Structure 1
Amino acid sequence: MTLAIDIGTHYARVARVAPDGSTPGLVDLPGGTPDEGLALSTTARGSRVTALTETYDAFRARHGPVRRIVVVLPQREKAELTRQLGSAFAGVPDAPELRPLGTPHAVLALLRHSGSAADGRYVVCDLGARAADISVCAVTGHSVALVDAVSRAPAEGLGDGFDAALLADAGLPADAAALSALAAVRREDGAAQRLQSLLARAERSPGVYDSTTVHWLGDRQVRAGVVRRSLAAVTTVLDTALDGFRVGGRPSLVAVGGLSRLSPLHDHLGARHELVALPGEGTDPCHAAVLGAALVAAGLVDPGDRYPHAVCVGTHRMVAGELRTEELEISPAGTLEPGAPPVFAESGGQRVRIRAAQGAQREVVVSVRAVPGGAGVPVRSVRVPPGSPGERCHLGIRLSVEGIAHLVLQPVGAGAGTELPLGPLPVDLTGVRR
């Protein structure tokens, strides 16, 4: 069994693919709600690692252990949290394999699986409680490269600040009970249409309609004027962030997260961008990331955030007085990530040291290997410049955010490294020729 968990600020959402292997769906857990998921404890809200273990404990108590969990992480925190997650299940019997996945790749996995995302550039806006996390991704075949990303987090929070302003207008604190009541009235039949209509009137004639009641929370009212002004503060944050990207034209934009449920916000974004609809009927934008991650966990779609094959180079070594040609694996399958630091060849946990070519350039053949232990398929050749006598270097591979591979020669000790462009590495190896 496989699982996906998306840890938010206040809730965790859990999903898996149906037993028939067709569609992903949310998992019901004790204390959870169909719309928001499992409420996190106060302790878990301060630590995503604690939130992960708390959520998995709740799942395992009802459904039993799983072999693999894809954990959705905010793009702004992915690198740091990936390092922390290694200790999440230390010492736990039958601990599951953890596979971190950034929110934009999880969302695009859902779209790509349904055929809703062709090649091109997409802006993924994750509008959550704390921040607006905006990512520009380039989809090219099987690869999804992160081209640019920015996070905008107002001091009071994005969604949290918006909700707090509405509750303050009603004379209520932004506590769990009031937030739950606000979420409930937003889900009422016709609530979205009523909000959209009243805000449009208040925008045209604020003096007349700003005092109109949009929501009733018991005997307390939330007025159109405070919703209009609070929403304007959110759109200002978004517009400023989006204007910093040079995507060109009307870029395709996918809005997810709690605030993206607001239809007036959709209208605002749709006026400047080509909004991409989520697949399925009535798919909640708060669930898009975890549903996409569930497809990844089940092996139904590759998120495209890592190169799937091992990358190797041909080397020469003297063994018992004979020169032997060998294949050195630089990057194991599934480790190269666009925009991430280089991956260097290792042996026994230590970087391999290669003697630099002496006196003249040397041609090095780069190959990729789809099957562990199988023969590599030559895909590129590159001329390596000569080094100084006795010089040794580490050999690595780096993928740019555009998916261009570079062979990296890093001298052992001090000294600047050299990068040699290789071009894109093939994913489909059928008929590949160097």
Structure 2
Amino acid sequence: MSAVAIDIGSRYARIARVGAHGAPELVELPGAVPGEGLPVPAGEDGRRDAALHAVCSAYVGQHGVPDRLVIVAPRRDRSGPPGHGADASAGLHGTGRTPPPSVLSTPHAVLALLRHAGTATAGRYVVCDLGAAAAEVSVCVVTAGAVAVAGSARHAPADGYGAGFEAALLAEAGLLCDEAGRRVLAGVRAEDGAALRLDLALDRAERNPERFDATAVHRVAGRDITAGAVRLALRRLAAGLDLATAEALDDAAPTEEAPPSAAQAPARTAVDGLVAVGGTARFAPLLRHLTGGGRPLVPLPAGTDPALAAVYGAALVAAGLADPADRYPYAVCVGAHRTAAGRPENQELLVSGAGLLEPGGAAVFAEAGGERLRVRTGPAGAAAGRSVEVRVRDPEGAVSVPVRTLALPGGAEDDRFHLGVRLALDGTARLVLHPLDAGAPVEFPLGELPTDLRTDPEGVRL
């Protein structure tokens, strides 16, 4: 079985597969830049679609139609970005012989790579996708069987994130920030000893800018790029990354609607690891800024280019060697009433176990002994149903957080329902009442389910 993954970046469209030795590798295609991928067409309109179809056509022309295809997409696009749905499969070969492609968000693809390597276990990880266009930061909660994004933020300046950095350096050398200029700059930075010289110069300039800011760190097209120019451009990168990180962590903090109580919340836990991927993550001084203050950086598997981390993780998923784990990590429960020995009792009814809900997947229903439970919404013959509290629970930490209290409708004495919950692609949940008769199911909105039960009421701190 052939299985491939595609990641459409702002500059390059990359396709990867798992090679004969069980490790992911970049598939080199005609017209591709070695180690990068096919250049994405210039212009804003439709370039992701054009790049997707171009890379698919190039792959099929050399290797035939793959049996499985996984496409990496930014989280904001996962609910149906142009070209990432059934149309992408049709554009791949025009025959409909392959199943529709699966869509995997960038943080899930990256964590699939790290979980496969054993370097990301249960805990909270901050995935920093540092690209040419933007810095996207996602706070991810990893459990034994699921990965959930608890908060995210994107910093995308008008002139680009990594692109703005390169433009500043090329301007210092009197060059345009085009493909030719970027290749010249990349070649100079890749020279033997260039990274060490840059580190030493930046360290000296940081301690004594008046003396060392004028030190030449690169010579491009006969002109010097100084330590001061690099430090100035680096501050812009660092400020944008800090802004996105702070916003993502704030997004991951508990909401006022359903904060965990002091009794429920566990002790504050530190972030278990920072992950830096994307082309701009190749810049070592930025990584040192990211890990300042002793924050741990999770290493990528040996030899992995950070620009290829997402497509490599997606290739492992496509090949069936890694679980995407794109599921809700906690159990969903509702308050229920039952009669035992003629006496009413309150209890908590498990609707969906931890790691069973998938975004865009089918509803999961409460079961017992492999059979769906039959429930009613109120006392027999009551005109109105009871109010029920929906909660999520971490089975391992015994942390329980309220989500919403719903007023369910009443029903006839013989009315019974299957009770379920489903998760939409946009991350919002619905409680589902499915009548046992031929009636249509009724859904009740729950909003976004809490995704980080380790967070205390004061929020996350790095």
State the TM-score, normalized to the length of structure 1: 0.74
Matched, 1:104 2:104: no
Deviation at residue 230 of structure 1 after TM alignment: 0.8
Q: C-alpha distance in 1, partners of 2:408/2:243?
A: 46
Residues 216, 222 of structure 1: 8 Å contact kept: yes
Stretches of structure 2 lacking an aligned partner (at least 5 in a row):
253-268, 333-350, 366-374, 387-405, 452-462
- Name which of 173, 192, 210 aligns with 1:207: 210
Closer/same/farther in 2, CA of residues 418 and 108 from structure 1, 3 Å limit = closer
Stretches of structure 1 lacking an aligned partner (at least 5 in a row):
312-329, 346-353, 363-382, 425-434
- Name which of 256, 260, 274 aligns with 2:296: 274
Identify the range of structure 1 (57-66 vs 132-141) with the bigger mean alpha-carbon deviation. Answer: 57-66
Q: C-alpha distance in 1, partners of 2:80/2:154?
A: 15
Identity %: 49
Q: Deviations over 1:66-125 (max 9, x none)?
A: 121111112233224178532224371235530110010000000100111110000000
Residue aligned with 2:177, SS = coil
Residues 192, 262 of structure 1: 8 Å contact kept: no
Q: Match for 1:52: what amino acid?
A: L
Structure 2 counterpart of 1:25? 25
Q: C-alpha distance in 2, partners of 1:72/1:97?
A: 14
Deviation at residue 341 of structure 1 after TM alignment: 9.6
Residue aligned with 2:88, SS = coil
Closer/same/farther in 2, CA of residues 341 and 232 from structure 1, 3 Å limit = farther
Residue aligned with 1:108, SS = helix
Q: C-alpha distance in 2, partners of 1:279/1:145?
A: 22
Structure 1 counterpart of 2:140? 137
Deviation at residue 154 of structure 1 after TM alignment: 1.2
Q: C-alpha distance in 2, partners of 1:393/1:84?
A: 36
Closer/same/farther in 2, CA of residues 138 and 177 from structure 1, 3 Å limit = same
Deviation at residue 19 of structure 1 after TM alignment: 3.0
Residue aligned with 2:138, SS = strand
Matched, 1:252 2:276: no
Q: C-alpha distance in 2, partners of 1:213/1:135?
A: 36
Give the alignment of 1:178-327 within 5 angstroms. Answer: 178-244=181-247, 245=249, 249-272=270-293, 273-280=295-302, 282-306=303-327
Residues 43, 50 of structure 1: 8 Å contact kept: no
Residues 125, 134 of structure 1: 8 Å contact kept: yes
Residue aligned with 2:289, SS = helix
- Name which of 407, 410, 417 aligns with 1:387: 410
Residues 155, 243 of structure 2: 8 Å contact kept: no
- Name which of 381, 387, 402 aligns with 1:359: 381
Structure 2 counterpart of 1:77? 77
Residues 12, 40 of structure 2: 8 Å contact kept: yes
Q: Match for 1:2: what amino acid?
A: A
Deviation at residue 405 of structure 1 after TM alignment: 8.2
Residues 407, 422 of structure 1: 8 Å contact kept: no
Q: C-alpha distance in 2, partners of 1:422/1:155?
A: 33
Residues 406, 423 of structure 1: 8 Å contact kept: no
Q: C-alpha distance in 2, partners of 1:416/1:97?
A: 28
Q: Match for 1:56: what amino acid?
A: C
Query: How many residues are treated as equivalent by the alignment?
Result: 369
Structure 2 counterpart of 1:323? none
Q: Match for 2:444: what amino acid?
A: G
Residue aligned with 2:90, SS = coil
Deviation at residue 387 of structure 1 after TM alignment: 2.0
Residue aligned with 1:232, SS = helix
Deviation at residue 344 of structure 1 after TM alignment: 9.2
Structure 1 counterpart of 2:12? 11
Closer/same/farther in 2, CA of residues 277 and 169 from structure 1, 3 Å limit = same
Q: Deviations over 1:343-394 (max 9, x none)?
A: 599xxxxxxxx997762679xxxxxxxxxxxxxxxxxxxx995525699999
Matched, 1:177 2:201: no
Q: C-alpha distance in 1, partners of 2:233/2:69?
A: 37
Residues 44, 50 of structure 1: 8 Å contact kept: no
Matched, 1:398 2:422: yes
Q: C-alpha distance in 1, partners of 2:450/2:246?
A: 30
Q: Deviations over 1:293-334 (max 9, x none)?
A: 1000000111100379xx9xxxxxxxxxxxxxxxxxx99xx9
Deviation at residue 336 of structure 1 after TM alignment: 3.9
